[in-house]
Structure 1
Amino acid sequence: MAQNVFAKGSQRKSVSNPSSTVTPAFGITGEVSSALQSLPIIQQSLQDIQHRLNGLDEVRLELQGVKEGLREDLWGDDGLAPKIEYVAQQAEETGQNLETIMKENKSLRQELELLKSVVIRMDRKVSEQEKEITELKGRSMRDNLLIHRFAEKANENLMVEVPIEIKKVYGIDVRFVRIHRMGPMRNGKIPRIIVGKLEKYEMKEDVLQSQRQLRQQQQETPFHVSPQYPSSLVENRKHLSELQKKYTEQKVETKIKGNKLVFKNGNVYKDKVLVPRAEDVLLALDEEKEALGHIEVVTSEEKREKGNRFIANAAEAKTYGDVRKVYKKICSIPIHAQASHRILVYRFTDKDGKLIDGYMDDGEYGAGRNLLKHLEERRLNNVVCVVTRWYGGEHLGGMRFELMKDVATEAAQKLNP
């Protein structure tokens, strides 16, 4: 029984040894071996981490440098902040200056409007004064008589000789208050015109009536007489006579009464195109100015003679409206607005096939009539031409018309090459 017990004890001891001694020792050794094998990898990972940490330090240092650089750029003496502050100050000053400029601009506009009003008022007064001056001239010439083609000789005594010759030719006794020839001495066969102021108005009427009777009898006289009128009235009369002739050809009855052409029904003729007034130019709307700016015109070369300057502008025209627009365009240009004369001449065929022509002297009496005749001779049609003259202080006589024709022809040829 004891052996059995011993045997059982021995058996238990032998059974317990493998599990308590041999097997645990083998497991620990394997784990250590595995850990030792992983150690290089861990070391490599630690080194990588260290490198990365070192890199982060470099990045941190770089960021610190960037931060300091930005701080310097923003807040340094030469940084953005002072510049932004300076720009803000400049903007504020600019705003103040702009406000000042706007106030000054408003003030200038008001002054400009005032000047426009003053100029318009002056232009109206000048027009009224010109009419009054013309009327006064007419009154002062009421008793004047012009004597044409009266033989001129040296040392003549007109106060004595002229009344004697008038008595011989017209049978009328006249007495002059004063009498003289017009203009300086000149070389030529045509004698200078004589102007004389008679003592009485009735004497002038008697001489003129006698001359009319002689003409009706078709009797020739060595000289002839005519009443004296202001140049503007004379030119206006010629213009009205031309118009009356055209209407007569159209079988339209008209009469010249004073300075007006009156139709049978009592209506008074009015020019279709007039010289633009100051108010027409200064008060023109922006839309109209823009439209005038789009009108195409051609310009001649400038001609000069004894301080006088001439230049012509031409454009196409097929209606009175076209003519008015071109005339206003030229008269609105500052250099032309200050000129002495802007002579207008036009010639076109309307939609009904009727030939329309006309002119405006603008104080240069006889110029428009001469230029219109020049256009007719050259058969120029559908054209409007404005000849501008700047007076240079010296009269040119008939030469001025030739110069005007030259520049007008040049401009018209450019328009219709």
Structure 2
Amino acid sequence: MESNVIISGVQDSRDENLALVLNSVFKKELELTETQMNEIRISKFYRMDQFSEKQKSPRPILVQFSDSTHKDARMRAVYKLKKKKSPIRISQQLPEAKREHRIRLYEVQSAYAKKNIASVIKRDRLIFSNGTAYRDKTGGRPQAAEILVPDEDTKDFACGDIVEDNGNRFEARAVEINTHRDVKKSVTNLLRLPNVSSATHNVYAYRFVNQVGVVQEGLEDDDEYGAGRALLWMLRDNNTTNVMVLVSRWYASKIGSKRFVHYGNTGLSAVNRLGK
């Protein structure tokens, strides 16, 4: 995927000559010179999905360049599309993990922008104007060594409804938190529970208001990409703060996007039982 791009918004037809279509995109839309056109090295290209007279939008085109340097050279001209307000969009095809990480960085960048703090995204990092990089203040997911060491200073947690779907099992636990340190300790303590540590995925999200009244939030997908965002959106939609919710999933079969509904519903049921 490092050498792939996805081109969307290019009108298609059943009997099109896709090579000529791409030639037009590169030459007319990206305004590449003859020399630049001759330097393009493409391994393969195709429309994604089958053509249908009932389709509501053009099928995207996947283009695989011979290596990432050829892809990067073309991506440097993409700004011209936005400048001329073209309906065509060109984006890199990223692995799911990288795509979710990039989405999260954009969300963090947007939050800082509301505080008038400038930042730019470079590769997989968010860089502030003073040159420092954004880092998760919880320190990320606990390491195995941290989980193995017992901690007597534990907080009570509330359990949510158990959801089962086609062999998959979802269980949620919610804890009251007030700091990033609370988040790290609570996640670590929950992962020490035998019936939590055995799960295929342990996804969590948190929101709390710090001492100066600013909302702090974060998430961890644990390779269940998009599930952390589903939990965080659930907390936002219900205006929930000072809570960390962790949902465990024992995988049995594919259930598509329904899994995100289950993460949100069982997570909310645990949050609603806090303090009861």
TM-score (norm 2): 0.82
Give the direction of change, closer, same or farther, for the CA distance of 1:416–1:153 in structure 2 (3 Å limit).
farther
Residue equivalent to 1:260: 125
Displacement of 1:164 in angstroms is 4.0
> 2: CA distance between counterparts of 1:238 and 1:337?
27
Q: Which of the residues 263, 268, 274 maps onto 1:409? A: 268
Note the residue ranges of structure 1 that are not aligned, 5 or more in a row.
1-140
SS in 2 for 1:291: coil
Percentage of pairs with the same residue: 30
CA distance in 1, matches of 2:236, 2:121: 25
**Which of 291, 294, 298 is residue 153 of structure 2 equivalent to?**
291
Separation in 2, partners of 1:392, 1:188: 34
What's the offset of the Cα at 1:226? 0.8
Higher-helix-fraction structure: 1
Of the three residues 266, 275, 292, the one matched with 2:141 is: 275
The CA distance in 1 between the partners of 2:211 and 2:204, in whole Å, is 22
Query: In the aligned structure 1, how far is the partner of 2:25 from the partner of 2:168?
Result: 41
SS at match of 1:178: strand
Residues 180 and 195 in structure 1, CA contact (< 8 A), matched pair in contact too: yes
Residue 205 of structure 1 and its aligned partner are, at CA, apart by 3.6
Rounded Cα–Cα distance in structure 2 between residues aligned with 1:191 and 1:206: 25
Is 1:220 aligned with 2:86?
A: yes
CA gap of 1:360–1:192, structure 2 versus 1, over 3 A, is: farther
1:393 to partner: Cα distance? 3.5
What is the deviation of 1:362? 1.7
CA contact (8 A) 2:29 2:81 kept: no
1:9-408 → structure 2 map (5 Å cutoff):
141-150=1-10, 160=19, 162-167=21-26, 168-172=28-32, 173=37, 174=40, 176-180=42-46, 189=56, 193-199=60-66, 201=68, 203-217=70-84, 219-221=85-87, 223-273=88-138, 274-282=140-148, 284-285=149-150, 288=151, 290-292=152-154, 295-394=155-254, 396-408=255-267
Q: Is the 8 A contact 1:143 1:198 kept in 2?
A: yes
Cα distance in structure 1, aligned partners of 2:275 and 2:11: 48
| Cα offsets for 1:187-206 (capped at 9, x unmatched) | 97466644321235455345
Can you give the 5+ residue segments of structure 2 that lack an aligned partner in the other structure?
none
Q: How far has the Cα of 1:334 moved from its partner? A: 2.2
Matches of 2:15 and 2:259, distance apart in 1: 32
Quick one: distance in 1 between partners of 2:16 and 2:90?
19
Deviations 1:288-321 (A, max 9, x none): 1x333xx211111221223322221112112222
**Per-residue deviation at 1:255?**
3.1
Distance 2:49 2:221 in 1: 23
- How far, CA to CA, are the matches of 1:195 and 1:315 in structure 2? 44
Secondary structure, counterpart of 1:343 in structure 2: strand
Aligned residues: 267
Pair 337,226 (structure 1): closer, same or farther in 2 beyond 3 Å: same
Counterpart contact for 2:119–2:126, Cα < 8 Å:
yes
Q: Which amino acid aligns with 1:278?
A: A
Is contact 2:13-2:51 (8 Å) kept? no
**For each residue in 1:181-225, what CA deviation from the matched residue of structure 2 results, as whole angstroms up to 9, or x when unmatched?**
5689999746664432123545534543333112023x232x421
Question: Within 2, Cα distance between the matches of 1:188 and 1:278?
Answer: 49
CA deviation vs aligned residue, 1:231-290 (integer Å, no higher than 9, x gap): 2222222222222222222233333332222334433322122211111112x14xx1x3
Q: Distance in 1 between matches of 2:20 and 2:167?
A: 40
CA distance in 1, matches of 2:21, 2:247: 42
Shift of 1:157: 6.8
169 and 262 in structure 1: CA distance in 2 versus 1, 3 angstrom threshold: closer
Contact 1:163 1:175 in 2 (8 A): no
Higher strand residue share: 2
Structure 2 equivalent of residue 44 of structure 1: none
Give me the whole-angstrom Cα distance separating, in 2, the residues matched to 1:204 and 1:145: 7
- Could you give the per-residue CA deviations for residues 393-415 of structure 1, whole angstroms, max 9, x where no partner exists? 42x33222111111111111112
The answer to whether the 8 Å contact 2:120/2:127 transfers is: yes
TM-score by length of 1: 0.56
| Structure-2 separation of matches of 1:358 and 1:236 | 12
- What residue number does 1:37 align with? none
Is contact 1:262-1:268 (8 Å) kept? yes
RMSD: 3.0
